[in-house]
Amino acid sequence: MTTSEFDSFRPPEPARRRRPGGKRGTGRRNSGDGSREMPMVPEPEFTSYYGRPVVKPAPWGDDVAAYLFLGGVAAGSALLGLGGQLTRRPILRRNARLSALTAVSLGAVALVKDLGRPERFLNMLRTIKVTSPMSVGSWILSAFSAGAAVSAVAEIDRMSGARLPLGPLRTVLQAVEGPAGFEAAFFAGPLAAYTAVLLGDTATPTWNAAHEELPFVFVSSAALASAGLAMVTTPVHEAGPARKLAVLGVAGDVIAMRVMEHRMDPVAAEPLHQGKAGAMLKWSERLAAAGGLGTLLAGRNRAVAAASGLALLAASALTRFGVFEAGLASARDPRYTIEPQKNRLAARRAAGITGDSITTAG
Partner 1 sequence: MGQLSGPTDPTADAHWEHSHPRKGFFTDTSICIGCKACEVACKEWNHNPQDGNLELLGSSYDNTGSLGASTWRHVAFIEQGQERITEARETGRALVNLGMPRIGPPAPAAPAATDLAEADTTPPDTADFRWLISSDVCKHCTHAGCLDVCPTGALFRTEFGTVVVQDDVCNGCGTCVAGCPFGVIERRSNGTVKVATSREEQHTEHPAVPNVGVAQKCTLCYDRLVADETPACAKACPTTSIKFGNHDDMVETARERVAGLHAQGLTEARLYGANELDGVGGTGSVFLLLDEPEVYGLPPDPRVPTADLPRMYRRAGMAVAGMVAAAAVAFLKGRA
Using CB under 8 A, which residues numbered 157 to 186 contact partner 1? none
Residue closer to partner 1, measured from CB, 54 or 293: 54
DSSP per-residue string spanning 243-300: HHHHHHHHHHHHHHHHHHHHHS-HHHHGGGTSHHHHHHHHHHHHHHHHHHHHHHHHTT
Mapping DSSP to helix (H, G, I), strand (E, B) and coil, where does residue 76 land? Answer: helix
> Does 21 sit near partner 1 (CB under 8 A)?
yes
Q: Which stretch of DSSP H or E encloses residue 32?
A: none
User: Toward partner 1, which CB reaches closer, 173 or 327?
Assistant: 327
Position 138 contacts partner 1 (CB under 8 A): yes
Binding to partner 1 in span 64-93, by CB under 8 A: 75-76, 79-80, 83, 86-87
Interface with partner 1 (CB under 8 A), residue total 102
Distance, in Å, from the CA atom of 124 to the CA atom of 91, rounded to the nearest integer, reads 36
For partner 1, the binding residue among 10, 38, 39, 351 (CB under 8 A) is: 10
Give CA separation, 2 vs 6, 7, 39, 219, in Å.
11, 9, 25, 60
* DSSP 8-state symbol, 9: G
Of 280-299, which residues contact partner 1 (CB under 8 A)?
none
Half-sphere exposure of 4 (CA within 13 A, CB side): 5
Nearer to partner 1, 10 or 163 (CB): 10
Q: Binding to partner 1 by residue 208, rule CB under 8 A?
A: yes
Dist CA 234 CA 84 (whole Å): 11
The residue among 200 and 322 lying less far from partner 1, judged by its C-beta, is 200
Please state, in angstroms and rounded to a whole number, the distance separating the CA atoms of residues 84 and 88: 6
The nearest distance, CB 156 to partner 1, in angstroms, is: 24
Q: How far is the CB of 320 from partner 1 (least distance, A)?
A: 15
Q: Which of 66, 280, 305, 338 binds partner 1 (CB under 8 A)?
A: 338
Q: Whole-angstrom Cα distance, residue 266 to residue 9?
A: 43
Cβ nearer to partner 1, comparing 96 with 180: 96
Residue 273 as a binder of partner 1 (CB under 8 A): the answer is: no
Which positions ≥6 away from 324 have C-beta within 8 Å? 60, 64, 65, 68, 199, 277
- Pick from 27, 178, 240, 278 the residue near partner 1 by CB under 8 A: 240
Pick from 101, 173, 198, 318: which binds partner 1 (CB under 8 A)?
198
Which of 32-40, 165-173, 291-299, 341-349 is the region at the interface with partner 1 (rule: CB under 8 A)?
Answer: 341-349
- Give the orientation angle of helix 133-159 with respect to helix 169-200, to 10 degrees: 150
User: Within positions 23 to 62, which residues make up the interface with partner 1, using CB under 8 A?
Assistant: 46-50, 52-60
Q: How far apart are CA 46 and CA 245, in angstroms?
A: 46
3-state secondary structure of 161: coil
Q: Tell me if 278 contacts partner 1 by CB under 8 A.
A: no
CB 303, min distance to partner 1, A:
21
- Which listed range, 151-159, 163-171, 297-305, 333-341, lies at the site for partner 1 (CB under 8 A)? 333-341
Q: Return the residues of window 110-129 that contact partner 1 according to CB under 8 A.
A: 114-118, 120-121, 123-124, 126-127, 129
* Near partner 1 by CB under 8 A: residue from 98, 141, 242, 326: 242
Q: Decide whether 157 or 204 has the Cβ nearer to partner 1.
A: 204
Q: Does 104 bind partner 1 (CB under 8 A)?
A: no
**Of 228, 252, 294, 309, which one interacts with partner 1 (CB under 8 A)?**
252
Give the Cα separation of 362 and 287 in Å (integer).
55
Separation CA 180–CA 188 (nearest Å)? 12
Contact (CB, 8 A) for 295 and 308: yes
